[in-house]
Amino acid sequence: MHIGCCVIICSFVENYNITFMKHYRFVCIALFLIVGCSSPDTLKSYTDAAFSVNERVELLLKEMTIEEKVGQLCLYVGEPSCNTSNNKDEFVSYELSIGECADLIRKGKISSFLKVPTYNQANALQRISEQSRLKIPLLIATDAMHGHGMYATGATIYPSQIGIASTFDTTIAYYVARYTAREMRATGYQWTFSPNVEVVRDCRWGRIGETFGEDPLLISKMGSAMIRAYQGSDFSDSTAVLACAKHFVAGGIAYNGLNGAPADISERTLHEVFFPPFIDAVDAGVYTLMPAHNELNGVPCHAHREFLQSLLHDSWGFDGIVVSDWNDIEKLSSVHKIVSNAEQASVLAFDAGVNMHMHGPGFFKHITDAVKKGAVSEIDLDDAVRKVLNAKFAMGLFENRYVDSGSVQNILLHQKHRAQALRAARKSIVLLENKDSILPLTGKQKILVTGPLADHQGIMGDWVKYQPDSNIVTVLEGIHNEAPVGTDVTHYSISDIKNIADDDILKVKAEAQKNDIVIAVIGDNSNRFGGNKTTGENLDRATLLPSGDQPKLVQALVESGTPVVVVLVNGGPIAWEWMSKNVEGLIEAWEPGMMGGQAIAEIIYGKYCPGGRLPITFPRTVGHNQSFYNHKPSIYHRGHFFGVDVTPLYEFGYGLSYTSFEYSNLQVPDTISSTDDVKVKVSVENIGNYSGDEVVLVYLNDKVSSVTTPVKKLVDFKRITLTASQDTVLEFTIANKYLSLLDINMKKVVEPGNFELIIGNDVMTKEFLVK
Ligand code: BGC
């Protein structure tokens, strides 16, 4: 209100001689002082939703104390473990008692939580946030990596990321993320720490199941599809959540495959291989990003100012929140030893570009003190806080921070979501071996189903709490559903994936001899909650064989003389050449999610024709580690291994089908200019008897280049479905940037000369000239 308005009010009172205001002159003066002295801006309020998000952020910032600002950078963990509280709705914090926690929220010292098990708890926390001075809502976060699996119960669980990558179908990735976001928002969550867009170059790493594998382009396309789906067209969409590209960068090539161990990578390899998926995530609009646990070339990623500021922010244009990984700021001093205490660590990470701390107290005090002492600038603090407030305003949380409990059950495990879980699982499965076309099984037979994962929730992978059995179709249940009437199915239960008693091995072998076929479901268990995990986060693999006693089990089954079909349930490649040679059928199911058993059975019985392809190369042994398809030309020119073939067991892009596809008429212009895109056409025909999917892979090779370039690199792909005898013509436009390389001066250039376009795993090739 302006002074002018005061004058009008005063004269109104005077003119109409309002009797109850005998001392109207006094009132006018008071009005003048209270209202008239105020600038127009001070009467605007951030609580007024009529203002733009930017205006509201600035209005709120002006009202905040330093403590309240730093509070917006503090993330706490909502639960110590999934089973600690008997009463599911009673809030339990990891770091604090409920009283301490509520007190901090009321004081505006907590911005966000992760792992809040129920929507009632989410609502309870939000209610406390309304008791704070500025009533800033909380962001509630989770690792919804392949479905809202960390939610207490009843969510839809899709295949792990490695399985999603195996589909080579970005629509699958898109809808998995879209439906996950719907389940998250319905239960009070607004932020997922997904997708993981790291490149894997060490098969021993326990977290491969959480990734899209080894190829930068596949990772970029899958990651970007998920980011767009999570975040929706804009945050005002009530089903949008914040996505998080993680972990930046190089956790997939740390020493010995150990999670969080140091990595050393050349600048060239970083730019050629490890950075592109993050650049594409930024281009897709990802709002948050998480640095990696590891150090890179001597600098811990949480203190990497050059990466977090110069590259991420200044070059790539990322303007969202950089959230630390689990206590990795403190580890700058306690583990990496680059500073001597946690206070210095907080300041170092903040200055390097980390905006939010996961998790707990400590950081709050360090940054508050540093700002007060001038060691951290308030301008930088404001910049970081702006990003958090922007998300909270844009998502409409100031207007509504609560879950509508009535709609939760309609959205969790919605029929559409469940159908998508089945669709994704079907498309993710890769057929690795099919000797004498043993698959699909036909007719009624006597079947033995065994193996530690045959009737087990391990099919759901990591980042999933125990879910009601009735929500899940295990492999055994799937086989019961799909086997023709009259099939005799026997289940020999093996309960412990790590230890299988010799007696069990003898008995199961004897049982196998009574059957026509054995289906053995083996692999790894990455689930963090069951207490019997064999791989996963912080559990890496010193061998790539099936874990524990499972090799003995497979050997005994093969020795029984009954044909064996092995179904692998795993996150990272299992490399066992003997098994590949000796079993009749080998199915890579990855961690196929809650409908996985159904999808596997449909493939075994031919209801669905397998079409997934490997998103990661399988080494032949653990000694073949660092086998990847996009290697440099010299890799095999001298070196050999004693007694074993040097090449990988199965290469990226490999996968069998029940049908066959024929390619013809590959068209690429003979000559293009160095600024042109490459237009490609190719015909594909299904020449087999089944309707099925083909993944058409398009690679490029720069025949002679001034610096070494990979023997081939993926530049596009399409998954298509063709019925028997159906054919189609596919067109691709390969963007010009894929012709480029980083020259000796690290400058991006397209070098004139001959290039080769390669379809599939060397199915067809054609050379063309770039002038
Ligand atoms: C993992 C992250 C995850 C975080 C929160 C960390 O240990 O590295 O990927 O987002 O925990 O659960």
Q: Express each pLDDT in 612-655 by its tens digit.
A: 999 999 999 999 999 999 999 999 999 999 999 999 999 999 99
Half-sphere exposure of 632 (CA within 13 A, CB side): 10
759: which 2 tokens?
A: 């379809």
Q: Token digits for 3?
A: 């002074």
Which residue minimizes the CA distance to atom 7 of ligand 1? Answer: 326
Average pLDDT over residues 43-67: 97
Minimum-distance ligand 1 atom for the alpha carbon of 196? 9
Q: Please state which of the ranges 206-210, 299-303, 360-364 shows the lowest mean pLDDT.
A: 360-364
Mean pLDDT of the chain: 93
The band of 41, judged by pLDDT with boundaries at 50, 70 and 90, is low
* Amino acid making up residue 431: L
What's the rounded mean pLDDT across residues 58-70?
98
Give the pLDDT band (50/70/90) at residue 26.
Answer: very low
Q: How far is the CA of 389 from the centre of ligand 1 (A)?
A: 23
**Ligand 1 closest atom vs CA 210:** 9
Q: Ligand 1 center to residue 686 CA distance, Å?
A: 44
- Ligand 1 contacts (CB < 6 A) are 114, 143, 193, 246, 325-326
Nearest CA to ligand 1 atom 2: 325
Contact between 166 and 223 (Cβ < 8 Å): no
- Give residue-wise pLDDT tens across range 429-470: 999 999 999 999 998 899 999 999 999 999 999 999 999 999
Q: What pLDDT sits at residue 483? A: 97
Distance between Cα 324 and ligand 1 center (Å): 9
- The whole-number pLDDT of residue 686 equals 98
Q: Which helix (H) or strand (E) holds 104?
A: helix 98-106
Q: What distance in angstroms lies between residue 325's CA and the mean position of ligand 1's atoms?
A: 6
What pLDDT sits at residue 39?
54
Q: State yes or no: pLDDT of 58 exceeds 90.
A: yes
The angle at the Cα of 707, spanning 702 to 710, to the nearest 5 degrees, equals 45
670 has a pLDDT exceeding 70 = yes
pLDDT at 70 over 90: yes
Phi-psi region of 461 (alpha: psi -120 to 50; beta: other; left: phi over 0): left
Q: What's residue 32's pLDDT? A: 44
Across the beta sheet with 321-322, the strand order is 244-248, 288-291, 321-322
Which of 325, 329, 335, 537 has most ligand 1 atoms within 8 Å of CB, for mutation?
325
Q: How far is the CA of 292 from the centre of ligand 1 (A)?
A: 10
For the segment 3-31, the average pLDDT, to the nearest whole number, is 41
**H or E element: which one contains 418?**
helix 415-428
pLDDT score recorded for residue 94 = 65
pLDDT of residue 2: 40
Calpha distance 387→86 (Å, rounded): 37
CA 450 to chain centre: 31
Query: Could you tell me what percent of the chain has a pLDDT over 70?
Result: 92
Give, as one character, the DSSP assignment of residue 629: T
Q: Coil, strand, or helix at residue 208?
A: helix
Question: To test the ligand 1 pocket, which listed residue (82, 145, 248, 326) has its Cβ within 8 A of the most ligand atoms?
Answer: 326
pLDDT of residue 43: 79
Tokens matching residue 347: 């300041």
What's the pLDDT band for 762 if we cut at 50, 70, 90? confident
Tens digits of per-residue pLDDT, 692-725?
A: 999 999 999 999 999 999 999 999 999 999 999 9
- Between the CA of 130 and the centroid of ligand 1 the distance, in Å, is 28
Q: How many angstroms does the Cα of residue 547 sit away from the middle of ligand 1?
A: 24
Does residue 5 have a pLDDT over 80? no
Confidence of residue 33 (pLDDT cuts 50, 70, 90): very low
CA of 244, closest atom in ligand 1: 10
Q: What would the DSSP string read from start to end of 273-307?
A: IISHHHHHHHHTT--EEEE-SSEETTEEGGG-HII
